[in-house]
Chains A and B, each alone.
Chain A
Amino acid sequence: MTPRQSSGRRLVPAYLATGGRARPSRNTLDRLTLLHSVGMPITSEVRPEEHRILELLQPGALSLAEVAAHLHLPVSVVKVLVADLVDAGRLHARVPIPEAEQFDRQILERVLDGLRSLKS
């Protein structure tokens, strides 16, 4: 994850996006949280960085990590922005689709034990 594609030193620091806050108002967000726009009209009180997020999500959903990469911002900062937008009702955040369920090792072992005991 490169901070910025151009080689130069950043001109605008990340803390400016949130006014220095890094603690999101909700702690349910993580890198894989899927975001999609509610489709509310973007009014003028939306700050530029929020505007960009909503614009990015206009065509479809993206994960929070992807949004962060598009904005060249740290994930922690994007979390704060996204949490604000979710609070304002402009975004839906969805828990990531869980990974395929792993089999429970204990059950498998007990089944195996059961089979063995049947066999013997």
Chain B
Amino acid sequence: MTSIPEALLWCLSAGTAAAVVLAAFSVRASGQRKALRARLAAAEEQNSATLHSNTELSARLRATEAEIRHLAGTRLPDLTMALAHPHVPVHGLLDARFAGSETDEALGAVLEQVSEAITKERTRVDAAAQSALRGATTTIQALLYRLQTALQEMQHRYDDPEIAQALLNADFLNEQALRRVQATGVVCGAWPGLTREDSYLAELVVGAMSRLRGYERVQISNQLRDPIAVVARAVEPIAITVTELLANALHHSHRELPVTITLQQGNRGASVIIDDYGVGMHDDEIKAAMELLAGDGDLLLTQLGDPPRSGFAAAGQLVRQYGFGVHVEPSPYGGVRAVVYIPGDPLLTVLDESAQPMSVMAPLPHRSGMTERSSSALPTGAAPSSAASSAGQPTPAPAAPAAPAAPAAPAVHASYDAPAAEGELPRRRRRKPVSEAEQAPRTEPIPPRSPEETGSRWAALQRGTETGRAAAQSEPPRSPEGNAQS
């Protein structure tokens, strides 16, 4: 049995121990609570941060979605448009904050891929269209050439005015069709379709002019000093180019206005200068034309409008392939001036006019024509007036005035006498042209005899002999008969 104090002691000690333990516990619990509170605060903070970043992210997501929608709805259509029409701007990012980000790069890559794909596909489709057209035009062109030959033969065969008129009309229509087909073919990468011989530049320009409606409005002024010709391979290309430039000039000026062509010989080549007095071209039109005429870069039919305007494009292709030059500028007369420059070194040559006579329709050179006329054909009184008229004609470029006349005169006379001299295939010519020296003293008194005159003289002789046989000797009455005939 224990005593009460002992029991009390036990109780107290137990109580103390419990208090100590409890104190220890409470201390620990408060520490834990503090930690927990701190953790709670941290967690709350974190939570709020997460929430914040979450809203930020979702905003960003929305912005990205908007960006993608913008790409699909605006930027891609812009891009396709811009590929067809280079002046159309492509919209940038909707939100400038994306600039340089991965999203920007990704979207940029999409645009790039699409543009590449579109370009490739467009080139492929265009090439297919071009080759289809090329095939068609080549065949049609060959057929039209055959038609041309047939028409030409018929023109020589039938004299009847009505038939001849129909044939000439058909020939002209055929020429116009040929020009269209040929230019389209050239734009599509076909070759000009015809190789000619070396041809005179003047003849070439007249030929080019004849392919167009309204050719009667074209006035040609030939300032060439020598019988300049274009080498065979470049004849048709240059003819096509001149035709297309002339077609523009004729099309864009009033029906009653002239279009003037000047053939000018330079030191290192020759130029065909085409001036119109029409509506002219804007600066950007001129710029576009010059780009086409430069002939670099691939040509797409879709760039040329609907229907395709093939003129400058065809010229540009030929310029690139054959090495002559074309320049278009606003003309001082308000219209357009187009200049075809043909470099002398590879593309020009000089032909012998006696061996290969120039077409009769080719414009006569101004100055040498005048010298020829005044020296050989004209009565002396008319020479000064014609010389004065030639001096009065406008010369666009100031060439040396005295130099051209000197080399021209011998060339003309050589060509005048030569056909009689080459003797293999004689062509009938009644009389050889009398040279100046012989002609000069007796221009007025004795004109060259015509066949009728000769005939009448023989008749007179015969009659004379008959009367002479009948009666006494009598002179045939020569002079009155001759005068009556002339």
Q: Are A58 and B377 in contact (CB under 8 A)?
A: yes
Q: Are A76 and B161 in contact (CB under 8 A)?
A: yes
Given A41-B382, A59-B430, A71-B360, verify A14-B159 contact (CB < 8 Å). no
On chain A, the residues within 8 Å of B389 by CB distance are 43-44
Complexed CA–CA distance, A49 and B359 (Å): 9
Given A13-B172, A15-B171, A41-B386, verify A49-B161 contact (CB < 8 Å). no
Complexed CA–CA distance, A30 and B160 (Å): 10
On chain A, the residues within 8 Å of B196 by CB distance are 8-9, 11
Minimum CB–CB distance from B160 to chain A (whole Å) comes to 8
Q: Which of A1, A23, A60, A66 contacts B165 (CB 8 A)?
A: A23
Q: Lowest 6 A-B CB distances belong to which pairs?
A: A76-B164, A22-B164, A11-B207, A22-B165, A59-B431, A60-B430
When each residue 65-102 of chain A gets 1 if its CB lies under 8 Å from chain B and 0 otherwise, what string results? 01000111111110100000000000000100100000
Q: Is the interface of B mostly helix, strand, loop or mixed?
A: helix
B153 beta carbon closer than 8 Å to chain A: yes
Q: Is the interface of A mostly helix, strand, loop or mixed?
A: loop
On chain B, the residues within 8 Å of A61 by CB distance are 430, 450-452
Q: Are B175 and A13 in contact (CB under 8 A)?
A: yes
- Which residues 189-226 of B have a CB within 8 angstroms of A? 194, 196-197, 199, 203-204, 206-207, 209-210, 215-216
- Which residues 334-377 of B have a CB within 8 angstroms of A? 356, 359-364, 369-370, 373, 377
Q: Are B159 and A31 in contact (CB under 8 A)?
A: yes
Complexed CA–CA distance, A58 and B148 (Å): 34
On chain A, the residues within 8 Å of B149 by CB distance are 9
Complexed CA–CA distance, A19 and B218 (Å): 12
Complexed CA–CA distance, A72 and B359 (Å): 8
Q: Are B172 and A15 in contact (CB under 8 A)?
A: yes
- Which residues 21-46 of A have a CB within 8 angstroms of B? 21-24, 27, 30-31, 34, 36, 39, 41-44
**Among A12, A74, A77: residue with most chain B CB under 10 A:** A12
Report the interface size class on chain A: 35 or more
Given A9-B145, A36-B450, A76-B155, verify A22-B360 contact (CB < 8 Å). no
On chain B, the residues within 8 Å of A30 by CB distance are 159
Q: Which of A6, A55, A74 contacts B155 (CB 8 A)?
A: A74
B432 beta carbon closer than 8 Å to chain A: yes
A16 beta carbon closer than 8 Å to chain B: yes
Q: Are A21 and B165 in contact (CB under 8 A)?
A: yes
**What 19 additional pairs, Cβ within 8 angstroms, besides A49-B361, A59-B448?**
A8-B196, A9-B148, A11-B206, A11-B359, A12-B359, A16-B209, A20-B169, A20-B172, A41-B373, A43-B386, A49-B360, A58-B433, A60-B450, A75-B159, A76-B155, A76-B160, A76-B161, A79-B161, A97-B455
Minimum CB–CB distance from A54 to chain B (whole Å) comes to 8
Q: Are A11 and B165 in contact (CB under 8 A)?
A: no
CB-based nearest B residue for A62:
B430
Complexed CA–CA distance, A30 and B369 (Å): 31
Q: Are B360 and A59 in contact (CB under 8 A)?
A: no
Interface residues on chain B, number (Cβ under 8 Å): 67
B16 beta carbon closer than 8 Å to chain A: no
Q: Which of A13, A55, A75 contacts B377 (CB 8 A)?
A: A55
B residues in contact (CB < 8 Å) with A: 145, 148-149, 152-153, 155-156, 158-165, 167-169, 171-172, 175, 194, 196-197, 199, 203-204, 206-207, 209-210, 215-216, 235, 239, 356, 359-364, 369-370, 373, 377-379, 382, 386, 389-390, 427-434, 447-452, 455
Complexed CA–CA distance, A86 and B455 (Å): 23
CB-based nearest B residue for A51:
B364
CB-based nearest B residue for A64:
B159
On chain B, the residues within 8 Å of A22 by CB distance are 161, 164-165, 167-168
Q: Are A3 and B156 in contact (CB under 8 A)?
A: yes
List 12 A-B pairs, Cβ < 8 Å: A3-B156, A12-B207, A14-B171, A44-B370, A58-B377, A59-B429, A60-B451, A66-B428, A74-B164, A75-B156, A76-B160, A97-B455
Complexed CA–CA distance, A79 and B359 (Å): 18
Complexed CA–CA distance, A55 and B171 (Å): 28
A residues in contact (CB < 8 Å) with B: 1, 3, 6-24, 27, 30-31, 34, 36, 39, 41-44, 48-49, 51-52, 55, 58-62, 66, 70-77, 79, 94, 97
Complexed CA–CA distance, A86 and B235 (Å): 36
Minimum CB–CB distance from B439 to chain A (whole Å) comes to 10
On chain B, the residues within 8 Å of A6 by CB distance are 197, 356
Complexed CA–CA distance, A9 and B379 (Å): 39
Minimum CB–CB distance from B462 to chain A (whole Å) comes to 15
Q: Are A77 and B364 in contact (CB under 8 A)?
A: no
Minimum CB–CB distance from B455 to chain A (whole Å) comes to 8
Given A44-B386, A44-B389, verify A17-B379 contact (CB < 8 Å). no
Q: Are A42 and B377 in contact (CB under 8 A)?
A: yes
Q: Which of A1, A27, A36 contacts B161 (CB 8 A)?
A: A27
Minimum CB–CB distance from A77 to chain B (whole Å) comes to 7
Q: Are A12 and B203 in contact (CB under 8 A)?
A: yes
Q: Are B153 and A59 in contact (CB under 8 A)?
A: no
Complexed CA–CA distance, A59 and B429 (Å): 9
Complexed CA–CA distance, A71 and B378 (Å): 22
Q: Are B360 and A76 in contact (CB under 8 A)?
A: no
Q: Are B210 and A15 in contact (CB under 8 A)?
A: yes
Q: Are A76 and B158 in contact (CB under 8 A)?
A: yes
Q: Which of A7, A11, A48 contacts B360 (CB 8 A)?
A: A48
Given A43-B386, A59-B430, verify A11-B363 contact (CB < 8 Å). no
